[in-house]
């Protein structure tokens, strides 16, 4: 029989977390390094300790709540507790608190794990004042080293090292992988999109996490008088930008089932009503779970942008600011999650994740899986919502999964 978790305790914890970092302008603002984020970390550690788990912080300030097993090798479940500005109550916190509930339930029902089971709360998943998203998972997995970020500060000069130290990070590379004997990670997370809602299904197993490519493109024209400069002699950067954005839309329209893209950052110079714009700087982002499509389309676009620039006499430069490959989830972990969903009498849905997650980095080092819980289709905003029934169902699946995963011979290795 599956262990019975405490629905009341889980929902009460979600409610307590929602109260930390409430933004007067709406939603929750709890970015890494903020007072609210410090508060929720302390609250989480207290909850985990009250649950009888052993807590510790690693080199990157990631929080570990451990239920010791027969061996030191760790199987972890978790997510993050920081939020975007005016974000929702579930992105991150749901997965972290579902994991706490699952591990606590296993402990309370007298389960004796083979592996040490852990709740893992990763530091600074969302973008923050230091411009470092998925900070804790990248440091943990060595995608980013402590030295890489030594000199990074926010706009006020406050250093990320200091922020990490104040959050309790040991800043010691021996407190990161491969020195921590982590053997697997699973991240439960609100879906953040409308697909499960449209399918009428509460849960899904993630197959892979999207790749993301971001290019900063600068269009260089010439500032001049907005009235006296003849139309055909202008080198207007905004007119060029308009054409370049229309071409971007056309390219996406032609690949709708394979990729998506956004131009979410634009700066115009000198940005005055009576001056022809000299410069437009923008960031174009592409996402696809398919690396081949991602590379082909982003390069096709770059060729197109250069051609349009030439036709209009505009200078075009590009800087690749992110090139993150898609991250497949571990096949065995996916299969086991699917079995656990099926054992609840549900259809085991498989979905790609179009949002980035800490799991994308963990997957490059240890077998990693993700469980999606249906959302109302809104996220990174205060309207984000998730049904209590789905949360409880997802937590039951996670608890059963952790027990099965722990018992799988495949995961058993000698201590190191």
Cβ proximity to Zn ion, 351 vs 400, nearer residue: 351
- For residues 371 and 398, is the Cβ–Cβ distance under 8 A? yes
Q: Please report how close the Cβ of residue 85 comes to Zn ion at its closest, in angstroms.
A: 14
DSSP assignment letter at 225: B
CA distance 392 to 390: 5
SS3 84: coil
Q: Please report how close the Cβ of residue 252 comes to Zn ion at its closest, in angstroms.
A: 24
Q: Please report how close the Cβ of residue 93 comes to Zn ion at its closest, in angstroms.
A: 9
Residues 318-347 that bind Zn ion (CB under 5 A): none
Binding of Zn ion by 27 (CB under 5 A): no
CA distance 301 to 109: 56
Residue 8: which residues within 8 A CB-CB, separation 6 or more? Answer: none
Cβ proximity to Zn ion, 87 vs 309, nearer residue: 87
Cβ proximity to Zn ion, 124 vs 309, nearer residue: 124
CA distance 395 to 94: 10
Cβ proximity to Zn ion, 73 vs 134, nearer residue: 134
Size of the site for Zn ion (CB under 5 A): 2
Q: Please report how close the Cβ of residue 379 comes to Zn ion at its closest, in angstroms.
A: 8
Cβ proximity to Zn ion, 93 vs 340, nearer residue: 93
Q: Please report how close the Cβ of residue 210 comes to Zn ion at its closest, in angstroms.
A: 13
Q: Please report how close the Cβ of residue 375 comes to Zn ion at its closest, in angstroms.
A: 11
Q: Please report how close the Cβ of residue 202 comes to Zn ion at its closest, in angstroms.
A: 18
Rg (CA), the chain: 23
Q: What is the x/- site pattern for Zn ion, positions 72-101, by CB under 5 A?
A: -------------------xx---------
Q: Please report how close the Cβ of residue 357 comes to Zn ion at its closest, in angstroms.
A: 6
Q: What is the x/- site pattern for Zn ion, positions 98-117, by CB under 5 A?
A: --------------------
- For residues 62 and 136, is the Cβ–Cβ distance under 8 A? yes
Cβ proximity to Zn ion, 30 vs 107, nearer residue: 30
Cβ proximity to Zn ion, 93 vs 336, nearer residue: 93
Residue 60: which residues within 8 A CB-CB, separation 6 or more? Answer: 123, 135, 136, 139, 140, 146, 164, 169, 176
Count of residues making up the chain: 416
CA distance 141 to 131: 19
| Two tokens, residue 22 | 């409430």
Cβ proximity to Zn ion, 92 vs 394, nearer residue: 92
Residues 146-205 that bind Zn ion (CB under 5 A): none
| Alpha-carbon distances, residue 107 vs 68, 113, 333, 403 (angstroms) | 10, 9, 22, 11
First to last CA, the chain: 33
Peptide bond into 257 cis (omega under 30): no
Which residues contact Zn ion by CB under 5 A?
91-92
């Amino acid at each position: 029989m599956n262990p019975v978790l405490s629905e009341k305790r889980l929902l009460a914890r979600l409610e307590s977390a929602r109260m930390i970092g409430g933004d007067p302008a709406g939603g929750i603002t709890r970015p890494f390094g903020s007072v609210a984020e410090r508060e929720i970390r302390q609250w989480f550690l207290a909850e985990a300790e009250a649950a009888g788990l052993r807590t510790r912080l690693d080199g990157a300030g990631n929080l570990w709540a451990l239920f010791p097993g027969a061996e030191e090798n760790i199987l972890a479940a978790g997510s993050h507790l920081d939020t975007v500005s005016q974000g929702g109550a579930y992105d991150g916190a749901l997965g972290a608190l579902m994991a706490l509930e699952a591990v606590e339930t296993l402990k309370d029902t007298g389960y004796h794990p083979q592996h040490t089971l852990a709740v893992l709360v990763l530091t600074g998943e969302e973008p923050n004042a230091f411009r470092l998203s998925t900070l804790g998972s990248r440091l943990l997995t060595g995608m980013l080293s402590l030295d890489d970020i030594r000199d990074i500060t926010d706009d006020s000069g406050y250093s990320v090292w200091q922020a990490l130290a104040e959050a309790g990070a040991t800043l010691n590379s021996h407190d990161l992988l491969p020195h921590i004997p982590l053997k697997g990670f699973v991240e439960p997370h609100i879906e953040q999109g409308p697909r499960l809602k449209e399918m009428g299904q509460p849960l899904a197993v993630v197959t892979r996490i999207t790749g993301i490519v971001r290019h900063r493109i600068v269009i260089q024209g010439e500032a001049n008088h907005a009235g006296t400069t003849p139309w055909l002699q202008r080198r207007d950067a905004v007119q060029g930008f308009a054409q370049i954005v229309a071409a971007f839309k056309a390219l996406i329209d032609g690949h709708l089932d394979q990729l998506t893209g956004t131009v979410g950052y634009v700066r115009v110079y000198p940005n005055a009503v009576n001056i022809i714009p000299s410069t437009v700087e923008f960031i174009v982002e592409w996402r696809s779970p398919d690396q081949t499509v991602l590379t082909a389309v982003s390069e096709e676009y770059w060729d197109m942008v250069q051609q349009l620039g030439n036709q209009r006499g505009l200078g075009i430069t590009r800087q690749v600011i992110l090139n993150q490959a898609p991250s497949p989830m571990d096949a065995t972990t996916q299969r086991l999650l699917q079995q656990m969903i099926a054992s609840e009498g549900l259809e085991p849905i498989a979905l790609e994740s179009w949002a980035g997650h800490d799991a994308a980095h963990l997957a490059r080092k240890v077998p990693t899986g993700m469980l999606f819980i249906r959302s109302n289709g809104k996220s990174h905003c205060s309207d984000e919502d998730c049904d209590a029934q789905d949360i409880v169902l997802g937590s039951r699946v996670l608890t059963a999964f952790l027990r099965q995963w722990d018992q799988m011979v495949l995961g058993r290795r000698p201590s190191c």
